[in-house]
Amino acid sequence: MNLNLFRKMMLLWSVCFLIAGLFFIITPHTVIALLNHSAQLFHFSKSIPFHEDYLWLSLAGSMMITISYLSYEAYKNPKNHPVIQGLLICKLASSLLFIISAWRTQNNTYLLGTAVDFPIFLIIFIFYLQTRRLSRE
């Protein structure tokens, strides 16, 4: 894998995270409705309740904008390892927090967040390891 491919992938993630973040901010109830609909497809018994608590919306939206920016910075400079590490920390933390939320609420629907975020973490992590090896050569 070369640095150019890594750069293109990071630009793609930057755009995806930005669009998802804006979607979270503009239509928060749609995001929850989509999660609940997906949960029904997996025969999960509980859904995530709708509420008007915009604290969590603000936190999720700001994280999505931040990881979009981190991805964009990684696109501009794939050798900026602290930026990529920050992105990896965000995706791993959200994956683990979804698992904790599922456990604490006894609601498997939260695991859908892990099903999305953890593969993203793995993809970026594997590409990151390959990129680090290239930058040492």
Q: What is the pLDDT of residues 73-130, one digit of tens each?
A: 999 999 899 999 999 999 999 999 999 999 999 999 999 999 999 999 999 999 999 8
Rounded-to-integer distance, Cα 124 and Cα 76, Å:
15
What is the span of the domain harbouring residue 81?
A: 3-136
pTM for the model? 0.85
For 111-121, write each residue's pLDDT tens digit. 999 999 999 99
Number of domains in the chain: 1
Specify the pLDDT at position 76. 95
Query: In terms of DSSP H, where are the helices of the chain?
Result: 3-26, 28-41, 54-76, 81-105, 111-136
